[in-house]
Amino acid sequence: MTPRRLTPALLTLLAATLGLTAPAHAADDEGRLITRNTDGAWFLQQPEGTPGKGCVARFTAATKDQSQLALLGPTATSSTAALLMHGPRIATPRSARDVSLELQQDGLPAATLRGALMAASGPRGGGFLMVPVGDLTQTMASMRAKEEGMQVRVDGVDVFRLSYDGLDKAREAMRDCLAGKPFTGGKSLAEATAEVRPVGNSTITGTAFFKNAVLAKKRYPPKGSQAIGLIWMSDEFKQWFEMVKQSQKMPDRIPDHIARHFMVTTVLDDEGGFRFTRLPPGEYQLIVDFSYTETVARTEVTGRTDVYAGNRYIGSNDHLSVWMEDVRNSVTFSKTVHIAKDGDTLQVSLDKSMLGCFFICR
């Protein structure tokens, strides 16, 4: 049995099993950890200097798309509270657009709400859907502590799905924040991240694309996908991976101290942009894995005409039918990079036409 290929999809699953719930490019102001579970993690953002204002409780799912649900309290400049959903299937209009949305929860009748699709903001993939609420405390009280497969539809299309747990703890922290009480417990995002992957001050950023010929057009991993992974190539990981290669069998469970070497990030734009932040110095392996559609010509012999000169057979002509067909192809490639010192930023062009492969290259 050969070792299972470690694609970004597998890296995501590994990260999820450890509770790695924050995207690698998450901002430093994501707040402090309220609670973490197998579904994801809740963080509380509490700005200094404005007690009771600007409170945000944000849940990030431990799933491949890392969808988010945020409870937004009133700010110093706005008395409006809101629920904010973020996910890869939510549209990103040029400007905010009012919509009617349908909320579906297990065991409850569907509810129709008014909301707004928000214009794209920053480099993050996916879109934002905001639902204003009049009384956030009352709204939180009506929400269940755990939801399984909550769905939101806009114009008859599924745009958001989320399973979460721990809202009871997030609700308590949010109530205290709205009352002006400081939230002293919980780890910062950096501290929580350090438990499940290496943390430093360096960044790896760049673009990824594939060209199967010199004159072929570039193929990019889809925007918003988790198509780009990163492996921290420490001596510890190299020793473990050498043992895996020698045994020719992937272990049933990857140890926590090895799984923390795997990271994934979201493709930021239509040209394969990516970013990994908070990395320490060292050697890293970037891995790209995605599929693309290619139109190819297919030819079929549908008949034949024999040719004679007099009574002498001199050959035959094939009757050909030609049609165009869309074919789904997949590609995996990798590149090794080195961060020399803490705080460095590496700009990387991740191009298969120039690269070798680490695990398996198709």
pTM (predicted TM-score): 0.57
Please identify, among 194, 223, 258, the residue that sits at the C-terminal boundary of a domain: 194
State whether 221 and 159 are in the same domain: no
State whether 111 and 233 are in the same domain: no
State whether 216 and 242 are in the same domain: yes
State whether 313 and 166 are in the same domain: no
Q: How far is CA 201 from the centre of its chain?
A: 21
pLDDT at 256 over 80: no
Amino acid at 349: S
Kindly state whether residue 228 falls inside one of the protein's structural domains. yes
Kindly state whether residue 329 falls inside one of the protein's structural domains. yes
Length of the chain: 362
pLDDT at 348: 92
Beta strands in the chain (DSSP E): 32-36, 40-45, 56-61, 68-72, 81-87, 97-104, 111-118, 127-133, 147-154, 157-164, 202-209, 228-232, 262-265, 273-279, 282-309, 312-339, 345-351
pLDDT at 360 over 70: no
User: What CATH number does the domain containing 252 carry?
Assistant: 2.60.40.1120
> Please, which pLDDT band fits residue 226 given cuts at 50, 70 and 90?
confident
Kindly state whether residue 94 falls inside one of the protein's structural domains. yes
State whether 216 and 141 are in the same domain: no
Which of the listed ranges 86-95, 115-124, 285-294 does the model predict with the highest average pLDDT? 86-95
State whether 118 and 225 are in the same domain: no
Q: Hey, which residues does 333 pair with through a beta bridge? A: 288
pLDDT at 196: 60
Mean pLDDT of the chain: 79
Kindly state whether residue 16 falls inside one of the protein's structural domains. no
Total domains, the chain = 2
Kindly state whether residue 158 falls inside one of the protein's structural domains. yes
State whether 272 and 175 are in the same domain: no
State whether 261 and 307 are in the same domain: yes
State whether 184 and 221 are in the same domain: no
DSSP string of 136-163, one letter each residue: HHHHHHHS-S-EEEEEEEETTEEEEEEE
List, for residues 41-74, the tens digit of each pLDDT value: 899 988 888 889 999 999 988 776 778 999 999 8
List, for residues 215-224, the tens digit of each pLDDT value: 678 888 888 8
Report phi then psi at 219, rounded to 5. Answer: -110, 125
Host H or E run for residue 193: helix 189-194
pLDDT at 97 over 60: yes
Please identify, among 194, 227, 254, the residue that sits at the C-terminal boundary of a domain: 194
Kindly state whether residue 339 falls inside one of the protein's structural domains. yes
Host H or E run for residue 172: helix 167-178
Q: HSE on the CB side for 274, CA within 13 Å?
A: 29
pLDDT at 121: 57
Please identify, among 137, 166, 194, the residue that sits at the C-terminal boundary of a domain: 194
- Its domain, for residue 184, covers 28-194
Across residues 328-334, what is the average pLDDT? 81
State whether 206 and 190 are in the same domain: no
| Neighbour-count burial for 214-251, b at 16+ CB within 10 Å, e otherwise | eeeeebbbebbbbbbbbbbbbeebeebbeebeeeeeee
The terminus-to-terminus CA distance of the chain in angstroms comes to: 19
Across residues 205-221, what is the average pLDDT? 82
> Please, which pLDDT band fits residue 163 given cuts at 50, 70 and 90?
very high
Print the SS3 string covering 61-107.
Answer: ECCCCCCEEEEECCCCCCCCEEEEEEECCCCCCCCCEEEEEEEECCC
| Residue 214 or residue 114, greater confidence | 114
132/84 Cα distance (integer angstroms): 9
State whether 249 and 138 are in the same domain: no
Q: Specify whether the CB–CB gap between 222 and 292 falls below 8 A.
A: no
119/128 Cα distance (integer angstroms): 8
**DSSP symbol at 119:** P
State whether 328 and 246 are in the same domain: yes
Kindly state whether residue 23 falls inside one of the protein's structural domains. no
Lowest mean pLDDT among 141-145, 212-216, 332-336: 212-216
Host H or E run for residue 191: helix 189-194
Host H or E run for residue 38: none
Kindly state whether residue 240 falls inside one of the protein's structural domains. yes
